[in-house]
Every structure is written in structure tokens, then in C-alpha cells.
């Protein structure tokens, strides 16, 4: 590391609280700024085929303000992410040339030859500014558990400070880059493969994009269809060429069967949680036994319509860090479930066909209160099947399907023994806020310092020890089972059949590698 860079960082550390809070103040009303016109003759791609996306002109296209899925999708073509994480959880970047980490600091060398859509060069200041916007936004804020602040050292060096060592930090930095000072704009300047046309009704290929010659489209029209029926008809009629569908949600749309569906895995984790105030489920051995009563494959493929990927941990199953051996150790098996309950002291003490929980030497009947939000597709089915499996060995689980409001009230007030939850976890797999005393996701009030320690140990691990530390983290979590992970949600990327090849969507960018698309 250059001495001057280190010196600047040490000085700035004292006032980082001011740095990372900058840009989070009161926002003025958004203003529409016409996209800049790039001078010179426009290049043409070989294909030049027509392509159209749906959009919402009443919403912002600013990636830190956009509320609609349509506009966020459009933004993925306009705003390059700092890092990308593909479907197999491999890390890459089009803007970061080099990276290194020491203790609580990351240093990134930026490719300043990249052009922004206004003709200026990308600088570390733009990345620092974008990180401050991400940190202050509801859409991205939840991933920054260890982020402390960022600063630019010259045009080509970005320095990020963390509250603790985190060698996985780049995996949470798949956030869009906008030009510094553009946070209040509805169409801020970016550096992605496409830019907004002057009238805002289309995207045009950016001539200075490094892979411009292989971009599949010269122009992408931005249509606007508001109702569900209009959106479905527009896609089926070829007026819109690509849609993303969430079949796990209550607003899942039904498209015809003559389409190509590609899947990408999100970090939306489904899991069972526990109330530590309950005498029965507060026992680690009991929670571990319940792992075997969950048929994750059935949950993902049947009840969630193949729109989920089974998991036994809060670790992406496609990541090379995920231990398949540990996953197999808790495969669905009711014989193992019963044996594990018996090992935890839960037996049929009075031979009535029901298991009892021993309290001070007295057998107590078991009736677990499991709450689930009924608004989402499949969750109730998974909870009921889980309860049915446990009933076969004499454990009673009563499933309460609640409206979102009633579910949230019960969750906040601790009116449950178990709960079915869905949360988006950070890309570094840091779920400490589920187990910290004041953690925003610690609904069951579980406190266990070892859980915090093994996560910290994993985050601090270098390339040579990370796999071992992840294995240890997964193993501790399985043995203690503070939660029972079920699956990660997947999304459908739907396009017309035989239209394009080379499509490789990932969470955070369905247009990942768009320069590799080939039109038929």
C-alpha cells in the first residue's frame, strides 16, 4: 500500500461518522434532467433487433429511489454495479481493477478509463457517492452490517472502512453507480451499457461502453402498461420482450407456456424461527431434531413451484463455500427425527402415542404454536406439511395462518412458539442481527455468543481458510439450530422462445453479461 494512501486513511478514520452520513440528509423534490447527448457518429451492433421493456413513467428511474420492479429492471441496463455476483456466487467487476484488504479496511483500484454517459471519466468519487446513497436507502441498507464509511483517495482509489474485519465485503457491494451529485435526479448519469434517449422513451446503446460492438440491441423501447392484464397481453403479443416473475409472491403473474424461463437465485431466505421463552423449543436438541422433519426438496419444488433452492444454512447453496456433506447430514428422515428427539429427552413417557417434554421429571404434553403469514404462496403449505410430519411421531404443531398485519403483531409481541419467516440476507452471509440482543431480526430473543463468534470468524477469514471457517459456521448452526433454514427463493426470467441465447441472469442484474447475448 502506498504510504500516502495509508496516511490519508488514518486521518479520515477519525471523522468517518461524518463521511458515511453525508448524502443522507433531507432530499429536495426530484427533478428530471434530460440525459446528455453523446457527440459523434453512433456505432451500430451487428444485431440491432428491436427490444422493449415495460416501465413506469410516474416512478423514478434513479436506482436509489425507484419503487417499481419495472424501473429497477430498466436501471440494470443503465447503471453498472460496483461488483457482480453471478448465479454460482462468483465475484467479478467491470470497474474494479485491483482490491486488497487489511484489518478493517478495503482498498479498491478503479478503472478510470470508463466513460460516464455525459462523457466524463469514472472516478472513485462516483463510487464513494454511490455507496453513501446505497447505505442510506431502504432498498440496499440491510446489507451493510459491517460498513462504516468510504472515501476517495485521488481519482482511482476507493477506500472502505468496516466496523470489524470482513473479507466478504465485496459480495455486498453489488450496488449501482451513479455520478456524484446526482442523487436527486430521476434519471441520474450512469456508466452502464445503455443510456436514456433525449426524450426518455427509450434506451440507446452507449457508444463509449467498452463492449459496445457486441451489445445485442441499438435501441430498447420503454413501454408503459399499468394493469396486470395489460402487462400479460403486452408480453404475449410481443410488445414487451422480457419480464421477471416472482411465483413465490401473492402478485405472481400467469404467462403462457410457449416461452423460455430462466431462473436465478435470490438471497431471500425462508426459515423457521423459535421463541426462546418456550420451554420446549428453547432446547437446542429439540430444534436439531426438527431439522429432520423438514422435506426441503418438496418445499422448494412442489409447494414453491420450483421457484426456490433448498438450503440447510444461511449460505448460498451454489457457493463453493456451501458444504454438501453437512447438508446431507440433516436430510429429511423421520426415523432420525424421532431418534434425535429421544436423545434430547423427548419420549413417549406414558405410552399414549404422543411424545412428552420432561419438565422437572414430569412429562408434559407438547403443542407447538407455529405462526405463518398467509399472504405468500406456498408458506402455509410448507408449515402444514412440517406439522403433519411431526404428528406422525407424536409431536403436535398447531399452524396459525395470519394476515400480514396480525402476523407482524404476533411476531413483535412474541405470541408464538415458532414462526415461518422470509428475509433477505446480506451477500456476506452475516445474519448476526438475528441473534444480537437488539438485532432487528431477533424475534425469538435468542442470545448466544458462539453464534456471533463463528460468523465473525468466517468474515475475518482469508482465501486460504474461508472454506474451513464456513464449514465450522454451518456445523455450529446445525448443532444449535437457532433457526431452521428452508430455501432461498428463485425468480423467473421469462422471454419469448428462441429469441436470444447467452442469457445469464443473476440476483441484482438480470442483464449480467448482456454483451454476450446473441439474437436468433
State yes or no: pLDDT of 206 exceeds 70: yes
State yes or no: pLDDT of 25 exceeds 90: no
Q: Are residue 458 and residue 314 in the same domain, yes or no?
A: yes
- The confidence score (pLDDT) of residue 46 equals 44
The Cβ of residue 367 has, within 10 Å, a number of other Cβ atoms equal to 12
Q: Is 360 exposed, middle or buried (0-12, 13-18, 19+ CB in 10 A)?
A: exposed
Residue 250 lies in a domain: no
Q: Are residue 311 and residue 380 in the same domain, yes or no?
A: yes
State yes or no: pLDDT of 1 exceeds 80: no
CA distance 13 to 10: 5
Segment 387-414, tens digit of pLDDT:
999 999 999 999 999 999 999 999 999 9
Please tell me the least confidently modeled range out of 24-38, 236-250, 479-493: 24-38
Q: Are residue 105 and residue 194 in the same domain, yes or no?
A: yes
Q: Are residue 89 and residue 155 in the same domain, yes or no?
A: yes
> Hey, what's the cell of 47?
444485431
Residue 81 lies in a domain: yes
pTM for the structure as a whole: 0.89
Residue at which a domain ends, from 178, 197, 212: 212
State yes or no: pLDDT of 9 exceeds 60: no
Domain total for the chain? 2
Residue 104 lies in a domain: yes
Q: Are residue 69 and residue 192 in the same domain, yes or no?
A: yes
State yes or no: pLDDT of 19 exceeds 90: no
Residue 496 lies in a domain: no
Confidence of residue 437 (pLDDT cuts 50, 70, 90): very high
Q: Are residue 148 and residue 271 in the same domain, yes or no?
A: no
Instruction: Check residues 263 and 40 and name the one with the higher pLDDT.
Output: 263
Residue 217 lies in a domain: no
The CATH number given to whatever domain includes residue 81 is: 3.40.190.10
CA distance 385 to 365: 21
State yes or no: pLDDT of 445 exceeds 70: yes
Rg (CA), the chain: 25
Segment 91-111, tens digit of pLDDT:
999 999 999 999 999 999 999
- Which stretches within 332-444 are classed as H helix? 334-343, 379-391, 404-413
Residue 50 lies in a domain: no
Using DSSP's 3-state secondary structure scheme, residue 141 falls into helix
CA distance 15 to 520: 55
Q: Are residue 140 and residue 276 in the same domain, yes or no?
A: no
Structural domain range at position 473: 265-490
Contact between residue 129 and residue 22 where contact means Cβ atoms under 8 Å apart: no
The Cβ of residue 513 has, within 10 Å, a number of other Cβ atoms equal to 16
The CATH number given to whatever domain includes residue 376 is: 3.10.105.10
Residue 481 lies in a domain: yes
* C-alpha closest to that of 263 among 508, 490, 514: 490
- The confidence score (pLDDT) of residue 256 equals 65
Amino acid at each position: 500500500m502506498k504510504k500516502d494512501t495509508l496516511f490519508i486513511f488514518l486521518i479520515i478514520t477519525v471523522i468517518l461518522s461524518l463521511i458515511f452520513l453525508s448524502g443522507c440528509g433531507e432530499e429536495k423534490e426530484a427533478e428530471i434532467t434530460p440525459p446528455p447527448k453523446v457527440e459523434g457518429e453512433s456505432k451500430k451492433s451487428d444485431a440491432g433487433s428491436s427490444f422493449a421493456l415495460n416501465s413506469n413513467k410516474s416512478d423514478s428511474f434513479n436506482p436509489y429511489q425507484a419503487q417499481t420492479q419495472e424501473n429497477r429492471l430498466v436501471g440494470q441496463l443503465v447503471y453498472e454495479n460496483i461488483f457482480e455476483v453471478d448465479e454460482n456466487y462468483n465475484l467479478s467487476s467491470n470497474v474494479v481493477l485491483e482490491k486488497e484488504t487489511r484489518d478493517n479496511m478495503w482498498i479498491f483500484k478503479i478503472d478510470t478509463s470508463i466513460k460516464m454517459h455525459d462523457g466524463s471519466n469514472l472516478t472513485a468519487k462516483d463510487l464513494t457517492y454511490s455507496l453513501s446513497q446505497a447505505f442510506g436507502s431502504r432498498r440496499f441498507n440491510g446489507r451493510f452490517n459491517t460498513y462504516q464509511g468510504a472515501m476517495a483517495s485521488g481519482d482511482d482509489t476507493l477506500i472502505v472502512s468496516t466496523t470489524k474485519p470482513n473479507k466478504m465485503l465485496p459480495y455486498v457491494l453489488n450496488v449501482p453507480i451513479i455520478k456524484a451529485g446526482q442523487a436527486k435526479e430521476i434519471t441520474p448519469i450512469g456508466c452502464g451499457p445503455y443510456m436514456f434517449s433525449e426524450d426518455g422513451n427509450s434506451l440507446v446503446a452507449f457508444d463509449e461502453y467498452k463492449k459496445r460492438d457486441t451489445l445485442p440491441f441499438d435501441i430498447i423501447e420503454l413501454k408503459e402498461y399499468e394493469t396486470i392484464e395489460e402487462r400479460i397481453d403486452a408480453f404475449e403479443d410481443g410488445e414487451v420482450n422480457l419480464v421477471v416473475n416472482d411465483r413465490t409472491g401473492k402478485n405472481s403473474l400467469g404467462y403462457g407456456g410457449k416461452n423460455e424461463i430462466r431462473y436465478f437465485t435470490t438471497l431471500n431466505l425462508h426459515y423457521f424461527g423459535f421463541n426462546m421463552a418456550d420451554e420446549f423449543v428453547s432446547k437446542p436438541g429439540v430444534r436439531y431434531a426438527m431439522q429432520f422433519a423438514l422435506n426441503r426438496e418438496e418445499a422448494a419444488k412442489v409447494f414453491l413451484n420450483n421457484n426456490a433452492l433448498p438450503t440447510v444454512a444461511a449460505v448460498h447453496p451454489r457457493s463453493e463455500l456451501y458444504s454438501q456433506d453437512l447438508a446431507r447430514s440433516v436430510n429429511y428422515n423421520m426415523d432420525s427425527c424421532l431418534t434425535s428427539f429421544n436423545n434430547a429427552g423427548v419420549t413417549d413417557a406414558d405410552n399414549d402415542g404422543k411424545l412428552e417434554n420432561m419438565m422437572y421429571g414430569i412429562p408434559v404434553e407438547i403443542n407447538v404454536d407455529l405462526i405463518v403469514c398467509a399472504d405468500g404462496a406456498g408458506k402455509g403449505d410448507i408449515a402444514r406439511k412440517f406439522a403433519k410430519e411431526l404428528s406422525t411421531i407424536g409431536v403436535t404443531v398447531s399452524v396459525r395462518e395470519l394476515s400480514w398485519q396480525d402476523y407482524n403483531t404476533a411476531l413483535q409481541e412474541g405470541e408464538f412458539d415458532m414462526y415461518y419467516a422470509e428475509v433477505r440476507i446480506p451477500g456476506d452471509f452475516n445474519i448476526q442481527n438475528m441473534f444480537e440482543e437488539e438485532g432487528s431480526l431477533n424475534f425469538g430473543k435468542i442470545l448466544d455468543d458462539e453464534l456471533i463468534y463463528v460468523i465473525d470468524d468466517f468474515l475475518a477469514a482469508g482465501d486460504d481458510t474461508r472454506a474451513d471457517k464456513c464449514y465450522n459456521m454451518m456445523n455450529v448452526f446445525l448443532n444449535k439450530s437457532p433457526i431452521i433454514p428452508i430455501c432461498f427463493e428463485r425468480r423467473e426470467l421469462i422471454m419469448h422462445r428462441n429469441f436470444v441465447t447467452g442469457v445469464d441472469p443473476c440476483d441484482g442484474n438480470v442483464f449480467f453479461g448482456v454483451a454476450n447475448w446473441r439474437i436468433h
